[in-house]
């Protein structure tokens, strides 16, 4: 049996940064984790010299984690699909070049990116703009870090909501070897896929994109039914997807080496990850597991 690479989104913040994030991951029983290099909502970034990277990487190795399985997520505000505001597109390119250099300098190898949104101009226009943006980024960053394009929920004018759209971007980019995919269970359900058919989803993904391109899976339940296009994550077993389907993704033999990352909401200002990770590790649902978090203040 191969090792389960299972973790969650962790806030990397002052003063301990990566060391703090690793210690938090260890306290949750995680074997990997996902960070943003700063706030998810903006592109203000501190120099990585202040982020205790070397110490953090040594600590995570000591804990049996693997830098190759650690995930970095780009901020939400990047929109390479924008053809309306040239500034947004240009800022996105510049930010991503610097972000890829940061990920590389940290010793990590993948960056999750929301492909973009068409802001009223239609999906095809945005997909072509994203290709242009990725080509600009990947011709200049000078690293071998891979960008994992995330499958989106279809909220607002998001693109990259079907496997075909993601495939289109990869096919038209001049640097396809630098591209991979992040599959988000909440998002594909919102986009209309029947997530309960895990084998069917993986077979379809394999034939349209290729499972060799799947770099990370986001494990989230959804507050809304299939096709809702809302993008509201829910705790395991409290949403429309349910614990068993999510656990099937986590333990699926075709996804053996791929890191699985929880992005489920905090409960009562407390992280739910220790409990969620334990349930997934043992593939065992604990009814009312959230009660304990809900009652403490």
Contact positions toward Fe ion, by CB under 5 A? 150, 184, 218
Element containing residue 234 per DSSP (H, E) = strand 233-234
Q: Which is nearer to Fe ion, 150 or 276 (CB)?
A: 150
User: Which of Fe ion, Zn ion, none does residue 231 bind (CB under 5 to 8 Å by kind)?
Assistant: Zn ion
Q: Which is nearer to Fe ion, 57 or 151 (CB)?
A: 151
* Cα separation, 186 vs 166, whole angstroms: 17
Minimum distance from residue 117 beta carbon to Fe ion (Å): 13
Closest CA to 141 of 102, 172, 174: 102
Yes or no: say if 16 and 52 are a contact pair by the CB < 8 Å rule: yes
* Contacted by 218, from Fe ion, Zn ion, none: CB < 5 to 8 Å by type: Fe ion
| Cβ 261 to Fe ion shortest distance, Å | 8
Pick the closer one to Zn ion by CB: 141 or 184. 184
**According to the binding rule CB under 5 A, does residue 165 interact with Zn ion?**
no
CB nearer to Zn ion: pick between 141 and 150? 150
The listed partner (Fe ion, Zn ion, none) that binds 240, CB under 5 to 8 Å by sort, is none
Under 8 Å between Cβ of 216 and 261: yes
**In terms of Cα–Cα distance, which of 201, 96, 204, 188 is closest to 151?**
188
| 150 touches Zn ion by CB under 5 A | no
To which H or E segment does residue 21 belong?
Answer: helix 17-28
Residue 23 or 95 having the CB closest to Fe ion: 95
Stretch that binds Zn ion, among 7-15, 117-125, 228-236, 240-248 (CB under 5 A): 228-236
Contact 90, 40 (CB under 8 A): no
Phi-psi domain of 292 (left: phi exceeds 0; alpha: psi -120 through 50; beta: other): alpha
Binding test (CB under 5 A) with Zn ion, winner from 141, 190, 231, 276: 231
Binding residues for Zn ion, per CB under 5 A?
231
């Amino acid at each position: 049996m191969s090792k389960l690479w299972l973790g969650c989104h962790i806030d990397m913040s002052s003063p301990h940064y990566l060391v703090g994030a690793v210690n938090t991951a260890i306290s949750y029983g995680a074997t990997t984790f996902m960070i943003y290099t700063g706030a998810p909502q903006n592109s203000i970034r501190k120099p990585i010299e202040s982020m205790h990277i070397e110490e953090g990487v040594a600590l995570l190795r000591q804990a049996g984690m693997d830098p190759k399985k650690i995930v970095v997520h780009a901020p939400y505000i990047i929109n390479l699909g924008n053809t309306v505001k040239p500034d947004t597109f240009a800022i996105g390119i510049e930010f991503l070049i610097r972000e890829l250099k940061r990920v590389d300098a940290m010793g990590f190898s993948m960056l999750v990116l929301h492909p973009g949104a068409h802001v009223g101009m239609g999906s095809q226009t945005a997909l072509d703009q994203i290709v242009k943006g990725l080509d600009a980024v990947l011709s200049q960053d000078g690293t071998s870090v891979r960008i994992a394009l995330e499958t989106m929920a279809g909220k607002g004018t998001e693109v990259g909501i079907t496997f075909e759209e993601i495939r289109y971007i990869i096919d038209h980019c001049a640097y396809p070897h630098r591209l991979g995919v992040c599959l988000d269970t909440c998002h594909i359900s919102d986009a209309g896929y029947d997530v309960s058919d895990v084998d069917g989803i993986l077979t379809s993904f394999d034939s349209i994109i290729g499972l060799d391109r799947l770099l990370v899976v986001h494990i989230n339940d959804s507050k809304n039914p299939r096709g809702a296009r809302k993008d509201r994550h829910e705790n395991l077993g409290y949403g429309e997807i349910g614990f068993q389907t999510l656990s099937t993704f986590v333990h699926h033999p075709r996804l053996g080496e791929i890191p699985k990352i929880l992005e489920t909401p905090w409960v009562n200002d407390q992280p739910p990850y220790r409990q969620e990770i334990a349930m997934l590790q043992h593939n065992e649902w604990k009814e009312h597991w959230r009660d304990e978090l809900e009652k403490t203040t």
